[in-house]
Structure 1
């Protein structure tokens, strides 16, 4: 089966409601390709490696969290930008990208899906645009201490984490927000978190964690955002009868 480029856009927009968000770049169709779509490739970032994989898979569309265009970037089409755009245009591939709307979706978004992977159930939201999730362990049990939570995150995601702050404090209320959400740490503390999980850590957060007695766990920007894109693209592909494949281009960041 197939659908049109515009109908696919409308399906993504209906699910993710991008108009609700003040974002750092354009959400939706970023690069126009062929008018008919049969096969979607999803991934985290519209890197050259992902576009090359989409070409090899004979995809008509690519769906990502991190697109090509961001507020304040240099608008010249040179270097890496020229390479990526040239490959998309040469193969007439549509590029759809959704940033904050993909983080925020209550069931299929990055935060919801990370919580599912880690066995966490959200009970509330916090932070700017309500992007942060707050909840507890789905089993109903807390973690004996922050070190146990850090070890659990590391085991589930399959990569080393950075753990700042107390190691021995028992953990019940857990806040999380994927990607580069280290700036949400103070809001998580104010919301009553015992621990905060995100992708990245900056220098100030280690001090806040020690001084406030709240654990900060950085599990990698890419590692925390591997789950929303395939969940959304898979749902829309099934809805429209399209083929879909998630391709994970590894990233140590």
Structure 2
């Protein structure tokens, strides 16, 4: 059993949360019971995850996508009311870390995603150094990387093939990082992997020859929260359970 403030202090330090310019607050977003015995991790603080965590007797939830974002008008209605109502009624703490959880060099979304593809970053790129880039163990074809992504993630990626070159340098940034594609190209990537594809990136891939892989926002971000929560559980002797709420995005 550990006090929630100890967990938050540990997370803030481990993830270096204060250095990021982010889209919402990182840390404890909803205060629940003071003492924590079990922590559930997941990608998004959806109602389904909250209900599953309550069913699993969790005292705290750790997610990548929390409840509060810049631009929200502050009204507690509709879906936000429903989620908060459940958390407060059952006194479940909600911890959320967005960009800090993407960036951590060992436990973050990008590091954990790369590990599953046997990609090790030797450099960073893009705003706040969130993008990772490195060389695969051996050069890959576009088809081989697409097959590897499908095998690891359980879903086919949307692929814009570029000029068909061998992929000697692969860049990646999980989630909705399509805006990092130009920085990946400038960093010398032969391929870029992220979660989503917007209209401009297909043209950039065709015109520069750099292959583009969109493998799903949720699918690419299933690993960081689980790895961080597992570390917290080990640090404080807590029970941990990862709960994956399926999302086609």
TM-score scaled by length of structure 1: 0.97
1:237 aligns with 2:236: no
Question: What is the CA-CA distance between 1:160 and the residue it aligns to?
Answer: 1.4
The superposition leaves residues 180-234 of structure 1 with CA deviations (integer Å, 9 ceiling, x where unpaired) of 0000000000000000000000000000000000000000000000000010000
| Corresponding residue for residue 18 of structure 1 | 17
- Please tell me the root mean square deviation across aligned C-alpha atoms, in Å: 0.8
Question: What is the CA-CA distance between 1:167 and the residue it aligns to?
Answer: 6.2
Q: 185, 202, 225: which is aligned to 1:189? A: 185
| Corresponding residue for residue 114 of structure 1 | 113
Q: Give the Cα–Cα distance (whole angstroms) in 2 for the partners of residues 215 and 73 of structure 1.
A: 35
The superposition leaves residues 106-162 of structure 1 with CA deviations (integer Å, 9 ceiling, x where unpaired) of 00000000000111111000000000000011xx2110x212211211111111110
> Does the aligned pair in 1 maintain the 2:163–2:209 contact within 8 Å?
no
| Corresponding residue for residue 129 of structure 1 | 128
1:32 aligns with 2:11: no
| Corresponding residue for residue 170 of structure 1 | 166
> What secondary structure sits across from 2:135 in the alignment?
strand
1:248 aligns with 2:244: yes
Q: Give the Cα–Cα distance (whole angstroms) in 1 for the partners of residues 180 and 143 of structure 2.
A: 21
| Consecutive aligned runs of 4 or more in structure 1 exceeding 2 Å deviation | 165-168
> What secondary structure sits across from 1:54 in the alignment?
helix
Q: Give the Cα–Cα distance (whole angstroms) in 1 for the partners of residues 221 and 139 of structure 2.
A: 24
Q: 203, 214, 224: which is aligned to 2:210? A: 214
| Corresponding residue for residue 153 of structure 2 | 157
Aligned length, in residue pairs: 249
1:86 aligns with 2:85: yes
Question: What is the CA-CA distance between 1:165 and the residue it aligns to?
Answer: 3.2
> What secondary structure sits across from 1:120 in the alignment?
coil
Q: Give the Cα–Cα distance (whole angstroms) in 1 for the partners of residues 134 and 179 of structure 2.
A: 19
> Does the aligned pair in 2 maintain the 1:40–1:237 contact within 8 Å?
yes
> Does the aligned pair in 1 maintain the 2:22–2:98 contact within 8 Å?
yes
Q: Give the Cα–Cα distance (whole angstroms) in 2 for the partners of residues 150 and 88 of structure 1.
A: 39
Which structure 1 residue ranges, 5 or more long, are not aligned? none
| Corresponding residue for residue 94 of structure 2 | 95
